Amino acid sequence: MSLATTQSVAEIKARNKQLIDEVLKVYPEKTAKRRAKHLNVHEAGKSDCGVKSNLKSIPGVMTIRGCAYAGSKGVVWGPIKDMIHISHGPVGCGQYSWAARRNYYIGTTGIDTFVTMQFTSDFQEKDIVFGGDKKLAKIIDEIQELFPLNHGITIQSECPIGLIGDDIEAVSKVKSKEYDGKTIVPVRCEGFRGVSQSLGHHIANDAVRDWIFDKISPEAKPAFESTPYDVAIIGDYNIGGDAWSSRILLEEMGLRVIAQWSGDGSLAELEATPKAKLNVLHCYRSMNYISRHMEEKFGIPWCEYNFFGPSKIAESLRKIASFFDDKIKEGAERVIAKYQPLMDAVIAKYRPRLEGKTVMLFVGGLRPRHVIGAYEDLGMEVVGTGYEFGHNDDYQRTAQHYVKDGTLIYDDVTGYEFERFVEKIQPDLVGSGIKEKYVFQKMGVPFRQMHSWDYSGPYHGYDGFAIFARDMDMAINSPIWKKTRAPWKDAPRPSLMAAE
Amino acid sequence: MTQNAEHVLDHFELFRGPEYQQMLANKKALFENPQDPAEVERIREWAKTPEYREKNFAREALTVNPAKACQPLGAVFVAVGFEGTLPFVHGSQGCVAYYRSHLSRHFKEPSSCVSSSMTEDAAVFGGLNNMIDGLANTYNMYKPKMIAVSTTCMAEVIGDDLNAFIKTAKEKGSVPNEYDVPFAHTPAFVGSHVTGYDNALKGILEHFWDGKAGTAPKLARKENGKVNFIGGFDGYTVGNIREIKRIFELMGIEYTILADNSDVFDTPTDGEFRMYDGGTTLEDAANAIHAKATISMQQYCTEKTLPFIEGHGHEVAAFNHPVGVSATDDFLMTLSRITGKPIAKALEQERGRLVDAMADSSAHIHGKKFAIYGDPDLCYGLAAFLLELGAEPTHVLSTNGSKAWAEKMEALFASSPFGKNCHAYPGKDLWHMRSLLFTEPVDFLIGNTYGKYLERDTGTPLIRIGFPVFDRHHHHRYPVWGYQGGMNVLVKILDKIFDEIDKNTNVPAKTDYSFDIIR
């Protein structure tokens, strides 16, 4: 089906360039000029993908992006399970993001953990007019009474908070004092801030720094004895259990994971992280800020890794082990060897069904690059990719380590562009989000949601790769895609001609 | 090792393996600073008590697990019900990502909508430029026949004036002067998604009927005997509107469905993505002014729209999401009275079949207690149906229900001997419902997908009726209106009742004497 496989790189590049020119024609001149900077055909050897990024989305184009609140509450803070996260403002933001991100956790929900609940101040007109600080104070009191086992509270600001001049920091301080130094974290993640989810990640990271790290008493006695092998998993949201299928590998190689940020994470884990010997960072985009901070302030090195697909997993395990002694290095080799038969079996089963298939991606954080290796392990090729809210350092990493010459790159793609690109390139699979899923399936193109793993997962780690491979196979090779055209519509023309 | 290539284990099996269980136990014990299990157990039990209920109901500021969304969601739902119309939400862009996701997760369909992507500078200077550029881009890229504008709370807080902004955008050439850009202010801090439905629909009708924001003459009504139909915000819109069309056609009534989104939320998979499909034509929307009467299936979704229409000389009638025999009788008799057309024989037969089915199964429902939550009209419709089945809708809770709604519910309870111990809870949330289910248990719970948390915590079996339903597929394709819709609701309730009886009687040599093959 794929056109890409039958064409030379030069032909592909020419086609992709022409495609970009074609989609730009639909825009008014000013918009075309702006969008042109976000679209490119990757040239091998370049240090980045040649696109502008992290700029404002253009009004009216149907961007796929979300907002700073989504980046803070939805991504960074929401999964911290023993804290209560108040969606502060009108009801909608908390409602639409309620339990939608599949951040798995263990706990008795509503009693000692609260991830899949929606706490909101449900702002009414009077709160906008008179301000919401008193209401917020009262909400904190009510939380303390009804949910006494919570370990802390965060205030996730929605748009109106910053516009009406509420002082949530003051409320947080007063209430924290009133409740014996309880951790109460105000987060200024109003949705209009910045250009996408990305600033919300940054603001959330800064809130951890200012309202958790900076408040840890130097005299606080350690909750556990440190070991030379203590690491923290940073930037894994445990979607469908991703952090668990990652943690198990780190532990098997002899490391001790003292914290998960933030999937299945707890306040105690956040507080313990400055004791780590190494921070291992999966989602660079959303948590590089706090990793850099810990490096500067506590001298903790950090190392990016990629747990999608056996090639990248092995590479990453060795990279992580390189920070430690021979015991850990041997541990890494032992883990790689242990899972080799499983990986061989998975690849033997699925690669023949997927070899040569092409994929187009459009996702958030790290996935537009990180999953490429996993597809390649299955013999598949990523022919187009782009970031919803990436920055230039994401595109650098993509260019230098992941994409092939001629790959179509689209930053903050619009609905229109994405449809046209897929229509023309005809990949065998599109990997993107819920808003895109049904668009492409209607077009008859197999699709997997690559934010939520389409309600499957985990996809991280060796255990996750088996699921990933199975899912890609069932998407692409589902018999349903052969039935999208009614058979009478496919009636061969020659016979009609003959009848004439 | 737990995972294997032959039989790939999914998350729900994988993590139950001993290696993972050990790992998770260690994580908890060493690093999570867990609460003492005895204390967790004590609080868990305490949260079931009347004492906790009292504290819970004394809440004044905190909302926990509400069963409502915000206005613009309803506005988007309305807008896509018009032919070739793209909803345009003025304000922060993240909101639009949320509405689209929310609707797609329920209908398993694409959901198209654009944002004016306002950021900090717009917060300071206002979003006029966003409107000007946004309309131009939307118009050129997606070639809609109409762009229906609504607002997020950001634009409302800073006070952007849609009427003036759209006028200016037209002057600047964003869209042609005569191009239809109806609008509605839909602040998220007032009402809920049903309010947004109301405001957006009124905005569109006002646009077409009352002179397109001063750019065209107002339409003069010439009555044509037709009936307008408004469904309201409805998770079953696909099945319901098609059922309503069938009923109108059976009775030979000429009709206009306003905001008919039954096709756009049910497009075929045949190789083509239809951003727009079906919908009320713009011509029909304008001509709807000439109708004899307008019927709203959901009173609380049309609190402003219906008086507006009445003000244009229509006879209006509002229902409360009618489900079952009597509610459908009322609906059909009203239709018949207004149009002078007799109720079709075929419908009379369907009525008889529903009554027949209810008589056949009544023994299994009679006297059972139910809790219901959802939008105010849906709650009313379902409660009325349960009463005619001889069941007791013991707790009826609507987060977006008003005091007036509660009074109406109480009047309904008072009208039936089965309503004696039933109560309505306006403005309450699902954490209140949790206390109700613990302190005054019922046999079954009716609500949307989020009810599964209540089912898990309280053990009350959940019958999924409402919006959103994310975790079961395709229910929105089946009507709940009309006698046939009543049949669907009946079967849904019965299936759960029988499943529960089977589940309670399936232990071999212990309880399975009652594991009957005939029920």
How do residues A165-183 score in pLDDT, each as one tens digit? Answer: 999 999 999 999 999 999 9
Query: What region does B473 belong to: left with phi over 0, alpha with psi -120 to 50, or beta?
Result: beta
> Do B35 and A96 make contact, defined as CB atoms within 8 angstroms?
no
Write down the pLDDT at residue A426.
97
CA B458 distance to own-chain centroid: 24
What DSSP assignment string belongs to A404-457?
PTT-EEETT-BHHHHHHHHHHH--SEEEE-HHHHHHHHHTT--EEESSSGGG--
What DSSP assignment string belongs to A103-161?
B---S-BTTTB-TT--EE----HHHHHH-SHHHHHHHHHHHHHH-TT--EEEEEE-HHH
How far apart (Å, rounded) are the C-alpha atoms in residues B379 and B396? Answer: 7
CB B23 within 8 A of CB A461: no
For residue B40, list chain A residues with Cβ-Cβ distance below 8 A: 108, 111-112, 149
CB B138 within 8 A of CB B86: yes
Write down the pLDDT at residue A221.
79
End-to-end CA distance of chain B: 45
> Do A111 and B40 make contact, defined as CB atoms within 8 angstroms?
yes
Residue with tokens 């301000």: A131
The Cα of B434 is separated from the nearest Cα of chain A by a number of Å equal to 11
Which one is catalytic: B89, B153, B181, B442?
A: B153
CB A42 within 8 A of CB A49: yes
For residue B99, list chain A residues with Cβ-Cβ distance below 8 A: 96
Picking from A63, A257, A457, the nearest residue to B93 by CB comes out as A63
- If you average pLDDT over residues A394-404, what whole number do you get? 97
Chain B residues 199-258 within an 8 A CB cutoff of chain A: none
Question: Taking 70 as the threshold, does the pLDDT of residue A494 lie above it?
Answer: no
Picking from B23, B94, B273, the nearest residue to A251 by CB comes out as B23
How do residues A451-465 score in pLDDT, each as one tens digit? Answer: 999 999 999 999 999
The Cα of B375 is separated from the nearest Cα of chain A by a number of Å equal to 15
Question: Taking 50 as the threshold, does the pLDDT of residue A499 lie above it?
Answer: no
> Do B93 and A57 make contact, defined as CB atoms within 8 angstroms?
yes
User: What ipTM was reported for this prediction?
Assistant: 0.98
> Do A111 and B95 make contact, defined as CB atoms within 8 angstroms?
no
CB A152 within 8 A of CB A184: yes
Write down the pLDDT at residue A5.
53
CB B179 within 8 A of CB B151: no
Residues A323-330: contacts with CB under 8 Å, at least 24 apart: A323/A277, A323/A278, A324/A228, A324/A229, A324/A254, A324/A255, A324/A277, A324/A278, A325/A228, A327/A254, A328/A229, A328/A253, A328/A254, A328/A255
How far apart (Å, rounded) are the C-alpha atoms in residues B3 and A463? Answer: 6
How far apart (Å, rounded) are the C-alpha atoms in residues B181 and B162? Answer: 10
B257 three-class SS: strand
The Cα of B288 is separated from the nearest Cα of chain A by a number of Å equal to 29
Orientation angle between helical segments B376-388 and B403-414, nearest 10 degrees? 10
**Is beta strand A408-410 parallel, antiparallel or unpaired with respect to B462-464?**
unpaired
Chain A residue with Cα closest to B100: A435
Question: Taking 70 as the threshold, does the pLDDT of residue A497 lie above it?
Answer: no
Structure tokens at B397: 């809770």
Q: Per-residue pLDDT tens, chain B, 519 aa: give them.
A: 789 999 999 999 999 999 999 999 999 999 999 999 999 999 999 999 999 999 999 999 999 999 999 999 999 999 999 999 999 999 999 999 999 999 999 999 999 999 999 999 999 999 999 999 999 999 999 999 999 999 999 999 999 999 999 999 999 999 999 999 999 999 999 999 999 999 999 999 999 999 999 999 999 999 999 999 999 999 999 999 999 999 999 999 999 999 999 999 999 999 999 999 999 999 999 999 999 999 999 999 999 999 999 999 999 999 999 999 999 999 999 999 999 999 999 999 999 999 999 999 999 999 999 999 999 999 999 999 999 999 999 999 999 999 999 999 999 999 999 999 999 999 999 999 999 999 999 999 999 999 999 999 999 999 999 999 999 999 999 999 999 999 999 999 999 999 999 999 999 999 999 999 999
Chain B residue with Cα closest to A55: B119
Write down the pLDDT at residue A500.
36
Picking from B28, B157, B453, the nearest residue to A163 by CB comes out as B157
- Banded pLDDT at A492 (limits 50, 70, 90): low
For residue A345, list chain B residues with Cβ-Cβ distance below 8 A: 4-6
How far apart (Å, rounded) are the C-alpha atoms in residues A104 and A263? Answer: 7
How far apart (Å, rounded) are the C-alpha atoms in residues A258 and A235? Answer: 14
Question: Taking 90 as the threshold, does the pLDDT of residue A496 lie above it?
Answer: no
The Cα of B92 is separated from the nearest Cα of chain A by a number of Å equal to 5
Chain A residue with Cα closest to B52: A146
For residue B55, list chain A residues with Cβ-Cβ distance below 8 A: 145-146
CB B331 within 8 A of CB B246: no
Question: Taking 50 as the threshold, does the pLDDT of residue A4 lie above it?
Answer: no
Q: Does B105 touch chain A (CB under 8 A)?
A: yes
> Do B140 and A26 make contact, defined as CB atoms within 8 angstroms?
yes
For residue B10, list chain A residues with Cβ-Cβ distance below 8 A: 456, 467
End-to-end CA distance of chain A: 31
How far apart (Å, rounded) are the C-alpha atoms in residues B410 and B401? Answer: 13
B474 three-class SS: coil
Q: Does B91 touch chain A (CB under 8 A)?
A: yes
Q: Residue B440's CB: how many other CB atoms inside 10 A? A: 15
* Residue A387 DSSP class: B
How far are the Cα atoms of A250, B57, B114, B167 from residue B177, in angstroms, in the given order? Answer: 64, 53, 21, 9
Structure tokens at A486: 């009614």
The Cα of A89 is separated from the nearest Cα of chain B by a number of Å equal to 8
> Do A108 and B14 make contact, defined as CB atoms within 8 angstroms?
no
Enzyme catalytic residues of A:
67, 70, 101, 201
Structure tokens at B74: 């309803």
Cα-Cα-Cα-Cα torsion A43, A46, A51, A52, nearest 10 degrees, comes to: -170
**Rg over CA atoms, chain A:** 24
How far apart (Å, rounded) are the C-alpha atoms in residues A189 and B120? Answer: 12
> Do B188 and A119 make contact, defined as CB atoms within 8 angstroms?
no
CB B166 within 8 A of CB B135: yes
CA A363 distance to own-chain centroid: 7
The Cα of A6 is separated from the nearest Cα of chain B by a number of Å equal to 23
Q: How many residues does the structure list for chain A? A: 500
Picking from A164, A441, A444, the nearest residue to B157 by CB comes out as A164
**Rg over CA atoms, chain B:** 25
- If you average pLDDT over residues A482-494, what whole number do you get? 79
B/e letters for A429-458, b = 16+ CB within 10 Å, e = fewer, are bbbbbbbbbbbbbbbbbbbbbbbbbbebbb
How far apart (Å, rounded) are the C-alpha atoms in residues B66 and A98? Answer: 10
How far apart (Å, rounded) are the C-alpha atoms in residues A211 and A445? Answer: 46
Q: Does B371 touch chain A (CB under 8 A)?
A: no
Entry pTM: 0.97
> Do A28 and B34 make contact, defined as CB atoms within 8 angstroms?
no
**Of B1, B2, B3, which to mutate for an interface test with A (greatest number of A Cβ within 10 Å)?**
B3
- Banded pLDDT at A6 (limits 50, 70, 90): low
Q: Does B400 touch chain A (CB under 8 A)?
A: no
> Do A191 and B94 make contact, defined as CB atoms within 8 angstroms?
yes
Q: Residue B417's CB: how many other CB atoms inside 10 A? A: 10
For residue B109, list chain A residues with Cβ-Cβ distance below 8 A: 438
Question: Taking 90 as the threshold, does the pLDDT of residue A243 lie above it?
Answer: yes
How far apart (Å, rounded) are the C-alpha atoms in residues A54 and A364? Answer: 12
> Do B153 and A145 make contact, defined as CB atoms within 8 angstroms?
no
Picking from A91, A119, A269, the nearest residue to B68 by CB comes out as A91
For residue A68, list chain B residues with Cβ-Cβ distance below 8 A: 94
Question: Taking 50 as the threshold, does the pLDDT of residue A379 lie above it?
Answer: yes
Size of interface A-B (CB pairs under 8 A): 345
Q: Does B153 touch chain A (CB under 8 A)?
A: yes
The Cα of B14 is separated from the nearest Cα of chain A by a number of Å equal to 8
Would residue B422 show up in a list of annotated catalytic residues for this protein?
Answer: no
Picking from B5, B68, B98, the nearest residue to A97 by CB comes out as B98
The rounded mean pLDDT for chain A is: 96
Orientation angle between helical segments A326-354 and A310-321, nearest 10 degrees? 170
The Cα of B342 is separated from the nearest Cα of chain A by a number of Å equal to 40
What DSSP assignment string belongs to A313-331?
HHHHHHHHHTTS-HHHHHH
**Is beta strand B85-90 parallel, antiparallel or unpaired with respect to B146-151?**
parallel
CB A165 within 8 A of CB A188: no
> Do A348 and B19 make contact, defined as CB atoms within 8 angstroms?
no
What type of residue sits at position A373? G
